[in-house]
């Protein structure tokens, strides 16, 4: 096919929304409210029961995704949406098949709740990686069996002509805060990084971080609607997003992921790789470098040359750093005068 140079146009698109929250943060309910708002904006004249019939939830949270039916919130009653229940082992291809099932059933919005299980759950990708590593003794090579499964799942989310809302749990920590007026100290739960493959948030049009008090923050947003804003999720957020999605050209709808360009993703990945390589080199020197036989055995198990700068995979570098962090520094040799 001959190459063409043409004016860039923003096409009408399907939403690819990611959201993370600590346990109890409200990611499932927030996803349902946004899904309802999307459909309410698109179909303002149809009854609510028909709107909910266009929404499906792919549930790996032990059936909790179905508990919201009939709940009244934000001036609406959550109706009977559709559900696909996933159980362990949480293999990535199960999620991929579930997305296809929802598309074949002509669902317009699919909520994946949550993607954390396919990464860190029973039978998920990290567990599979550990099993392959035990069998082969090669942690680096084990990713060759695991990564393609994750890639198929991401492709299914991004390329399926359907609105996708994917939730993930965030790591939890607690902070102490002192009230300046009363002097009392309270403990507050906060969410940290999503429990998913590093950089997963880059795959989405919008990414929301939700805290334990149910406040959402638009950490990444190509639409500009919620970028760097704090808010409580309501159906109005979905309605506003749908107006943006439908405001593109009238060409055939194309499924696109607009979070970052490939170059932006690559630059960020390179930056993280270099920073971790530097940390590994510094730690290796503290451990005695090439004179430390135990250290070199660990390094060469992953990179036979012993040169850690040749390792470009971020997950492999992190695993190496974690492994050598457990090594003890060699005792300094002493000489008697």
Residue 168 DSSP label: E
Is 16-245 in CATH node 3.40.50.720? no
Phi, psi values for residue 187, rounded to 5°: -105, 130
176 C-beta neighbours (distance < 10 Å), count: 8
| Two tokens, residue 302 | 């992953």
**Residue 277 in contact with residue 322, Cβ under 8 Å?**
no
Q: Is 50 exposed, middle or buried (0-12, 13-18, 19+ CB in 10 A)?
A: exposed
CA distances to 54, 80, 139, 284, 318 from 302, in Å: 48, 51, 7, 15, 12
Of 201, 163, 213, nearest to 57 by C-alpha is: 163
Q: In percent, how much of the chain has pLDDT > 70?
A: 85
Chain segment 142-176, per-residue pLDDT in tens: 888 899 999 999 999 999 999 999 999 987 665 56
| Two tokens, residue 224 | 């500009």
The predicted pLDDT at position 99 comes to 97
| Domain locations along the chain | 16-245, 262-325
Q: What is the total residue count of the chain?
A: 337
| Two tokens, residue 320 | 């190496």
**Residue 56 in contact with residue 107, Cβ under 8 Å?**
yes
Quote the CA–CA distance of 111 and 83 in Å, as a whole number.
9
The average confidence (pLDDT) of the chain is: 85
**Residue 88 in contact with residue 169, Cβ under 8 Å?**
no
Helix (H) or strand (E) holding 163, with range, is strand 163-178
pLDDT for residue 1 is more than 60: no
CA atoms within 13 A on the CB side of 201: 20
Mean pLDDT of 287-312: 86
The predicted pLDDT at position 252 comes to 34
Chain segment 17-47, per-residue pLDDT in tens: 999 998 888 999 999 999 999 999 999 999 9
Rg (CA), the chain: 23
């Amino acid at each position: 096919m001959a190459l063409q140079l043409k004016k860039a146009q923003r096409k009408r698109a399907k939403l690819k929304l990611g959201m993370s929250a600590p346990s109890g943060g409200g990611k499932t309910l927030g996803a349902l409210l946004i899904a309802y708002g999307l459909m309410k904006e698109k179909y303002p004249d149809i009854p609510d029961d028909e709107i909910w019939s266009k929404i499906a939830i792919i549930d790996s949270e032990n059936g909790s995704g179905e508990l919201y039916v009939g709940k009244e919130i934000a001036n609406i009653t959550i109706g009977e949406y559709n559900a696909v229940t996933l159980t362990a082992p949480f293999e990535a291809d199960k999620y991929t098949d579930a997305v296809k099932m929802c598309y074949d059933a002509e669902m317009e919005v699919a909520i994946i709740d949550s993607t954390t299980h396919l990464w860190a759950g029973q039978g998920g990708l990290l567990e599979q990686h550990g099993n392959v590593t035990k069998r082969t003794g090669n942690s680096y090579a084990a990713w060759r069996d695991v990564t393609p499964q994750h890639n198929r799942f991401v492709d299914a989310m991004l390329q399926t002509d359907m609105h996708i809302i994917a939730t993930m749990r965030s790591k939890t920590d607690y902070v102490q805060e002192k009230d300046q007026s009363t002097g009392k100290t309270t403990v507050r739960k906060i969410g940290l990084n999503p429990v998913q493959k590093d950089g997963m948030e880059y795959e989405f049009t919008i990414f929301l971080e939700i805290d334990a008090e149910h406040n959402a923050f638009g950490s990444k947003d190509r639409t500009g609607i919620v970028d760097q804003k704090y808010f409580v999720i309501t159906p109005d957020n979905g309605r506003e997003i749908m107006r943006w999605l439908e405001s593109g050209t009238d060409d055939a709808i194309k499924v696109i992921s607009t979070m970052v360009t490939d170059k932006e993703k690559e630059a960020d990945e390179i930056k993280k790789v270099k920073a971790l390589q530097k940390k590994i080199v510094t730690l290796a020197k503290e451990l005695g470098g090439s004179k430390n036989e135990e250290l070199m055995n660990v390094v060469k198990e992953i990179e036979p040359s012993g040169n850690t700068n040749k390792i470009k995979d971020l997950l492999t570098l992190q695993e190496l750093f974690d492994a050598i962090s457990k090594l003890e520094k060699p005792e300094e040799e002493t000489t008697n005068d």
